[in-house]
């Protein structure tokens, strides 16, 4: 009787352990890779599936880029086989966390060479249909000013950023986070993100300058030029996402801080 009880306990423990094990990718064949990837995706909460899809895309794109640059794929070994090998046995958490590490590494390869906060004082009302005002703002050096409208005399903040693509592939868009703080307050006075598309791509080693003006009359906008602080203010720019990859369809994002 005792023997059967012990065997029952062992079988119960094994069954529980099997039921609690996390699903993994079986990439031993193309068919199993697709089947187990779908099962893995189904195990992810619906609100996080988009993150999982993006993470898997980062993995595959990164592996393609790595193998393409290193020439690691030998005769008789397909690129697909190499990708399967590196994904084999990965759990959902490992795929997502691995993608975050890859994204952080790729973001480091976009070097911000310089950044400035300038001030533009229009001599008359500016709008995109006014040719004279367009010439004025472009002469000042502003490249991006769509949907900006302000009256003469407004002090318009202009962000000016120069960056270099030190990655091994073209990038097709970049997203900056601009933060303006003062020593007196822990909450940023201004914090916003700006995207800059590059349809033709910025090749490896290429340098790009980006400037954009903001509308000081917008309700959501706190004009950093209006800061009155005896200790001044601190202005920082960080690249938080890039669109890159072989076909420019992979988004590398700065990992979010989990609550």
Per-residue model confidence as pLDDT tens digits over 222-245: 666 776 666 677 888 998 999 886
Reduced DSSP (H G I as helix, E B as strand, rest coil) percent helix, strand, coil of the chain, to 5: 35, 30, 35
pTM, two decimals, is 0.70
Weakest mean pLDDT among 84-88, 185-189, 253-257: 253-257
Number of domains the chain is built from: 2
Are residues 102 and 21 both part of a single domain? yes
Using the predicted structure, report yes or no on whether residue 151 has a pLDDT greater than 60.
yes
Report how far residue 212's alpha carbon sits from residue 58's, in angstroms, rounded to the nearest whole number: 29
Are residues 173 and 90 both part of a single domain? no
Per-residue model confidence as pLDDT tens digits over 103-140: 888 889 999 999 988 888 777 776 666 777 778 777 87
Name the residue range of residue 116's domain.
111-253
Q: Using the Cα atoms of residue 59, residue 64, residue 68 and residue 73 in order, give the sign of their dihedral.
A: positive
Classify residue 2: in a domain, yes or no: no
Order the strands of the 190-202 sheet from edge to edge: 190-202, 171-181, 234-244, 250-253
Are residues 134 and 242 both part of a single domain? yes
Report how far residue 148's alpha carbon sits from residue 125's, in angstroms, rounded to the nearest whole number: 11
Classify residue 258: in a domain, yes or no: no
CA-to-CA dists, residue 192 to 77, 86, 236, angstroms: 46, 37, 11
Mean pLDDT of 23-37: 78
Are residues 75 and 103 both part of a single domain? yes
Are residues 140 and 193 both part of a single domain? yes
Classify residue 1: in a domain, yes or no: no
Using the predicted structure, report yes or no on whether residue 72 has a pLDDT greater than 50.
no
Longest Cα–Cα distance in the chain? 97
Are residues 173 and 116 both part of a single domain? yes
């Amino acid at each position: 009787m005792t023997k059967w009880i012990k065997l029952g306990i062992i079988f119960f423990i094994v069954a529980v352990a099997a039921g609690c094990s996390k699903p993994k990718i079986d990439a031993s064949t193309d068919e199993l890779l697709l089947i187990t990837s779908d099962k893995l995706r189904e195990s992810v909460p619906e609100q996080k599936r988009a993150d999982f899809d993006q993470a898997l895309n980062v993995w595959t794109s990164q592996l393609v880029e790595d193998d393409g640059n290193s020439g690691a794929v030998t005769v008789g070994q397909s690129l697909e086989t190499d990708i399967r090998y590196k994904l084999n046995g990965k759990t959902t958490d490992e795929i997502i966390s691995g993608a975050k590490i890859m994204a952080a590494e790729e973001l480091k390869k976009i070097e911000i060479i310089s950044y400035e906060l300038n001030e533009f004082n229009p001599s008359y009302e500016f709008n995109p249909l006014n040719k004279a005002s367009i010439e004025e703002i472009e002469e000042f050096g502003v490249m991006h000013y769509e949907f900006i409208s302000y009256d003469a005399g407004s002090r318009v903040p202009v962000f000016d950023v120069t960056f270099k693509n030190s990655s091994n592939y073209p990038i097709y868009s970049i997203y900056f986070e601009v933060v303006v703080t003062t020593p007196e307050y822990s909450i940023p006075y201004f914090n916003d993100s700006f995207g800059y598309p590059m349809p033709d791509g910025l090749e490896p080693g290429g340098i790009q300058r980006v400037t954009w003006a903001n509308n000081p009359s917008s309700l959501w906008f706190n004009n950093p030029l209006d800061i009155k602080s005896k200790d001044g203010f601190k202005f920082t720019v960080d690249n938080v996402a890039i669109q890159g990859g072989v076909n420019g369809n992979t988004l590398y994002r700065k990992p979010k801080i989990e609550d």
